[in-house]
Amino acid sequence: MSTPTVLDDLNSAPVAASQPMGRFLLDSLRKNGILLAFVLVVIVFAILQPALLSPSNLTNLVLQYAYVLILALGMLMVIVLAQIDLSVGSVVALTGAVAALVCVRGGMPWWLGVLAALAVGILCGVWQGFWVAFVGIPGFIVSLGGMLIFRGLAQLLLNYQSLSPFGGTYYDISNGFLNGLFGGNGYDVFTLVIFAIAVVGFAVAAWRSRAAKLRYQQKVSPLPVFIVQIVVVAAIAMAYAWQISHNRGLPVILIILAVFIMIYGVVMGRTGFGRHIYAIGGNLMAAQLSGVKVKKVTFLAFVNMGFLAAVAGVVYSARMNAAQPAAGNSFELDAIAACFIGGASTTGGIGRIGGAVIGGLIMAVISNGMQLMGVSQGIQPVVKGLILTLAVAFDLWNRRRSAVAA
Amino acid sequence: MAKPLVTMTGINKHFPGVLALDGVDFQLVAGEIHALMGENGAGKSTLVKVLTGAEAFESGQIKLDGFDAPIINHSPQEAQERGLATVYQEVNLAPNLSVAENLFVARQPRRLGLVNWRAIHRRAEAILAGIGLDIDVDKPLESYPIAVQQMVAIGRAIDVSAKVLILDEPTSSLNDQEVANLFALMRRLRDQGLGIIFISHFLEQVYEVCDRITVLRNGRLVGQYDVAHLARRELVSAMLGRSFDDLAALSRSDQDQSNDTTPVVRARGLAVRGGVKPFDLDIMPGEVVGLAGLLGSGRTQVARVIFAADPADQGTRLINNRQLPDRPLDSVRAGLAFCPESRKDEGVIGELSVRENIVVAQQSKLGAFHLMSHAEQVELAQHYIDLLQIKCASMETPIKQLSGGNQQKVILARWLATHPELLILDEPTRGIDIGTKAEIQRLCLELADQGMAVLFISSEIDEMLRTCSRIGVMRDLEKVGELTGDQLNSSAIMAAIAGGEADD
Domains and CATH numbers, chain B: 4-240 (3.40.50.300), 296-337+467-479 (no CATH), 349-417 (no CATH)
B388 — pLDDT class (breaks 50, 70, 90): confident
Q: Hey, which residues does B9 pair with through a beta bridge?
A: B61
How many Cα atoms are found within 13 Å in the side-chain-facing hemisphere of B19? 12
As a whole-number percent, the residues of chain A with pLDDT over 90 amount to: 63
Range with the lowest mean pLDDT among A104-118, B22-36, B290-304? B290-304
Closest to A63 in 3D by CA, of A257, A236, A308, A319: A319
Residue A24: predicted pLDDT: 59
Are A285 and B113 an interchain contact pair (Cβ–Cβ within 8 Å)? no
Residue B248: predicted pLDDT: 34
Distance between CA atoms of B449 and B443, rounded to whole angstroms? 10
Please indicate if any CB of chain A lies within 8 Å of the CB of B88.
Answer: no
Four-CA torsion B237, B238, B241, B245, nearest 10 degrees: 40
Please indicate if any CB of chain A lies within 8 Å of the CB of B139.
Answer: yes
Give how far Cα B248 sits from Cα of B236, B254, B468, Å.
15, 17, 19
Neighbours of B391 (CB within 10 A): 12
Q: Tens of pLDDT along B249-288?
A: 333 333 334 445 788 889 999 998 878 899 999 999 989 9
pLDDT at B167 over 60: yes
pLDDT at B245 over 60: no
Are B93 and A286 an interchain contact pair (Cβ–Cβ within 8 Å)? yes
* Residue bearing the bigger pLDDT, A16 or B3: B3
Q: Is residue A396 part of a domain?
A: no
Helix A110-129 vs helix A294-320: angle between axes, to the nearest 10 degrees? 140
Helices (DSSP H) in A19-54: which residue ranges? 20-48
The parent domain of residue A195 ranges over 180-247
Contacts of B166 in chain A (CB under 8 A): none
Distance between CA atoms of B363 and B381, rounded to whole angstroms? 12
Q: Is there a contact between B452 and B420 (Cβ–Cβ < 8 Å)?
A: yes
Q: What is the DSSP letter of A118?
A: H
Q: Tens of pLDDT along A186-222?
A: 788 888 999 999 999 999 988 988 888 887 777 777 8
Q: What is the mean pLDDT of residues B115-133?
A: 90
* Residue bearing the bigger pLDDT, A7 or B63: B63
Number of domains in chain A: 1
Which residues of A, range 8-27, sit inside 8 Å of B by Cβ?
A: 9-11, 13-15
Contacts of A13 in chain B (CB under 8 A): 135, 144-145, 147-148
Q: Is residue A211 part of a domain?
A: yes
Q: Is residue A196 part of a domain?
A: yes
pLDDT at B459 over 60: yes
Residue A12: predicted pLDDT: 38
Distance between CA atoms of A154 and A160, rounded to whole angstroms? 8
Q: Hey, which residues does B294 pair with through a beta bridge?
A: none
pLDDT at B175 over 80: no
Q: Is residue A254 part of a domain?
A: no
Residue A316: predicted pLDDT: 96
What lies within 8 Å, CB to CB, of B130 at 6+ separation is B155, B158
What lies within 8 Å, CB to CB, of A117 at 6+ separation is A95, A96, A98, A99, A102, A310, A313, A314
Residue B362: predicted pLDDT: 83
- Given a cut of 70, the residues of chain A with pLDDT beneath it are 1-32, 183-184, 399, 401-406
Model pTM above 0.80: no
Q: How many CB pairs under 8 A join A and B?
A: 116
What does pLDDT average to over chain B?
84
Would you mind telling me the total number of residues written for chain A in this entry?
406
Is the preceding peptide bond at A165 cis, omega within 30 degrees of 0? yes
Å between B104 CA and nearest CA of chain A = 9
Helices (DSSP H) in A216-293: which residue ranges? 223-245, 252-270, 272-282, 284-289
Contacts of B129 in chain A (CB under 8 A): none
Residue B45: predicted pLDDT: 83
Q: Hey, which residues does B22 pair with through a beta bridge?
A: B12
What lies within 8 Å, CB to CB, of A88 at 6+ separation is A71, A74, A75, A305, A309, A312, A328, A331, A332, A335
Please indicate if any CB of chain A lies within 8 Å of the CB of B143.
Answer: yes
Q: What is the mean pLDDT of residues B147-166?
A: 88
Distance between CA atoms of B255 and B239, rounded to whole angstroms? 30
Q: Is residue A298 part of a domain?
A: no
Q: Is there a contact between B282 and B299 (Cβ–Cβ < 8 Å)?
A: no
Contacts of B113 in chain A (CB under 8 A): 271
Four-CA torsion B353, B356, B361, B367, nearest 10 degrees: -150
* Residue bearing the bigger pLDDT, A269 or B401: A269
